[in-house]
C-alpha cells in the first residue's frame, strides 16, 4: 500500500510476475506478467479507480506471440467508465489492436 499524505491518495499496487516457464515435453515457453493499481482519494467515492496491465506470451522455435492489455476503470456519480486496450504481436510485428471506451450506469452503486 502506498499512501501519499500530501495529497491524501492511497494506492494498492499488485505485481504478479510468473516470469518464463518452459514446458520441455512440448518445447513451449510461456510468459505471464500482471500489474494492477487501485487508488482512491480520502473518502471521495467518485475518486476510486483501478488499472491493470497484462502481458502474455508464447514461444516455440522461431514462432513468438504475445498480447498486451491495459484496462482502466473510473467512475462519475452516475456511471462507471471503462477504457481498455488490446495489442497482439507475432514476432515483433503488431498484428491486431483495438480500444474500447464504455460507460455503465451505476444503478445506485
In this prediction, residue 54 carries a pLDDT of: 97
In this prediction, residue 27 carries a pLDDT of: 96
Higher pLDDT, 3 or 100: 100
Mean pLDDT of 78-85: 95
pLDDT grade for 21, boundaries at 50, 70 and 90: very high
Q: Per residue in 26-49, pLDDT tens? A: 999 999 999 999 998 888 878 889
Q: In the chain, how many domains are there? A: 1
Q: Sign (positive/negative) of CA torsion 20, 21, 22, 27?
A: negative
pTM reported for the whole predicted model: 0.82
E-assigned strand segments in the chain: 2-4, 9-23, 28-41, 44-60, 63-75, 79-90, 93-105
Note down the domain range covering 33.
Answer: 2-105
In this prediction, residue 70 carries a pLDDT of: 98
Amino acid at each position: 500500500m502506498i499512501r501519499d499524505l500530501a495529497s491524501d491518495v492511497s494506492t494498492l499496487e499488485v505485481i504478479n510476475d510468473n516470469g518464463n516457464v518452459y514446458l520441455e515435453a512440448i518445447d513451449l515457453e510461456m510468459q505471464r506478467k500482471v500489474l494492477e493499481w487501485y487508488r482512491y482519494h480520502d473518502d471521495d467515492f467518485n475518486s476510486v479507480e483501478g488499472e491493470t496491465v497484462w502481458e502474455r506470451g508464447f514461444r516455440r522455435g522461431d514462432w513468438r506471440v504475445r498480447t498486451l492489455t491495459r484496462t482502466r476503470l473510473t467512475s462519475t456519480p452516475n456511471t462507471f467508465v471503462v477504457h481498455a486496450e488490446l495489442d497482439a504481436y507475432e514476432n515483433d510485428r503488431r498484428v491486431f489492436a483495438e480500444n474500447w471506451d464504455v460507460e455503465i450506469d451505476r444503478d445506485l452503486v
